[in-house]
Chain A
Amino acid sequence: MDVAIIDYYANHGTSFLHKAKALWKVVFTALVIASIILTNEFYMLLGIYITLVTIAVWTRLPVSRIITIAAYPAIFALIFAFAMWNGSWLKAGVIILKALTAALTMVLLIVTTPYPDVFNVLRPFLPRVIAEGLFVTYRSVFILLELTDELIKSLKVRGGLTRRKYIRNIRNFSSGIGLLLVKGFDYSEKFYGMMNVRGYSGRITTQGTKTSINRNDVLAIALGLLIFAITISTVIEKRFLEFGVYILACSAIALVISSIYQQFQN
């Protein structure tokens, strides 16, 4: 997980998904996640995954990087699939695909939407302390990442992290975390002081969530609705599962065409 890179992607993209409003992208994400929860069909999940990869191609961001970021949960899904192993590769595949597809959906949201915009959408549903904690955490992550980079560099330069000296490495690394914690605490006190000077009275004000719709929003919602409608139709009427292979083929073709088109565009 590279928080800084994800933040860069979210703030510097120019695709339709970047231009769509956070609220409608959250709706798109909710529809896709609901589809993943509802279906247990391997081909449907594979179809959704390929469709999401196609959307990732449309974002004009490095697709392989996005897929790698979203592949992290697969390690743990493998453990779960192993525990549920009953000789069926399809069942194991369903668990792994559910992890990969859900992760890719979430990653697509955050690589195209700055975090504060996502928090703004969630804000009405969360208690004030949590909503504000989310904003402050987001800000603090970047400061700590910078401090961590400096810390690891200085530990390496001063011989604090050397090969085969595991106990010493753990001790130095732990002291480093302790240092980050103390620095972070000092920083939080300064931060609180600064916020007070700027008129903080227990509430961080934001721009609010825009609900108007433009064509980018419509496209995001339409894609979410399309995925959800196809999934729900196969859940309600099992006969539609016969078309699973065609759905898979269509999504694969869309991916190939989109990739070729993007290659020419670049």
Chain B
Amino acid sequence: MSHLHIPDGVLPGWLVMAGWILTALILAFSIYRTRSTELKRKVPLIGIISALMIVCMTIPIVPIAYHINLSVIAGIILGPAVAFISIFIVNLIIAMFGHGGITVVGLNTVVVGAEAFIGFYLFQLFLTIMGRDSIMWSSGLAAVIALIISTSILVGVVYLSRIDPETVIGIEGGHPTEVATETNIPSQLTKGINIKSFAKTILILLGIGWLLEGIITAFVIKYVSRVRPDLILPQRA
């Protein structure tokens, strides 16, 4: 669970827009990559994986307010391009439940999409290094590392959100009135988010969650590799 549960209207507009633009570009690239007659075959699979992610996200692990994402599993099974499409669909639907703001769907897709992308390539890398018998360790490790990186992106996004260009440059009535100097920037930024306490809270809460999601990912991939190896290792099947 590394996506932003930040409400609408808290993050600066430029950051929200940047998230949407980045998502649109990656989506366009993903659709271009998966274009072909096979795309219509993938629609039901996208639907099932997205639905599974939504179902898992609706089960909160109460003491730490955590929920699993299954984004790394989506990345491993669908591949990063199709997984990104699936993650956008999931974020759009859960935003309708009020699960994170509707305006931050773009940023959320980038963060969770990064998780699937990193998870997929790390899984492939670990399989190559440790061998195909280490499928459980490879997937578990890939999930934990992908979650750590995506959560760092999340903290980075929150950090960026406090450096609102309007605040830093001191825009008044649409015109820059004062260019920020090294001495006056920190005093203006302290009005925003305390990034240390935010990062600390997030890392304490999510640390247990990463481990849990890593273990779950490892067991799920192990199970699927036994029952339907063609889903994970198509060349082997």
Contact = CB atoms under 8 A, between A and B. Distances in A.
A87 to B, nearest CB: 12
Interface in B12-45: 27-28, 31, 34, 39-45
B54 A129 contact: no
Given A85-B194, A170-B215, A129 B31 contact: yes
Q: Name the prevailing secondary structure of the A interface residues.
A: helix
B234 to A, nearest CB: 13
A124 interface: no
B98 interface: yes
Given A33-B102, A95-B7, A110-B96, A174 B216 contact: yes
Interface in B177-235: 191-195, 197-198, 201-202, 205, 212, 215-224, 227-228, 231
B153 interface: no
B90 to A, nearest CB: 8
B156 interface: no
Point out which of B9, B44, B46, B51 has the most chain A C-beta atoms below 10 A from its C-beta.
Answer: B44
Interface residues of B, number: 75
Contacts of B28: 127
A135 B47 CA distance: 8
Contacts of A98: 7-10
B101 A84 contact: no
A184 B27 contact: no
B41 A178 contact: no
Nearest to A170: B215
Nearest to B56: A177
Interface stretch (A13-21, A194-202, A218-226, A249-257): A194-202
Nearest to B39: A129
A195 B44 contact: yes
Nearest to B90: A137
Interface in A1-32: 1-3, 6
B54 to A, nearest CB: 6
B197 to A, nearest CB: 5
Contacts of B224: 178, 181-182
A181 B52 contact: yes
Nearest to B45: A188
Interface-centre pick from B31, B52, B197 (highest chain A CB count, 10 A): B52
Interface residues of A, number: 76
B5 A141 contact: no
B228 A133 contact: no
Interface stretch (B81-89, B112-120, B126-134): B81-89
B97 A184 contact: no
A107 B215 contact: no
Interface stretch (A67-75, A155-163, A205-213, A238-246): A67-75
Given A95-B10, A178-B227, A72 B98 contact: yes
B193 A137 contact: no
B65 interface: yes
A180 interface: yes
Contacts of B55: 141, 144-145, 148, 180
A83 B31 CA distance: 38
8 contacts: A80-B5, A98-B9, A99-B101, A103-B99, A133-B89, A136-B43, A141-B55, A144-B51
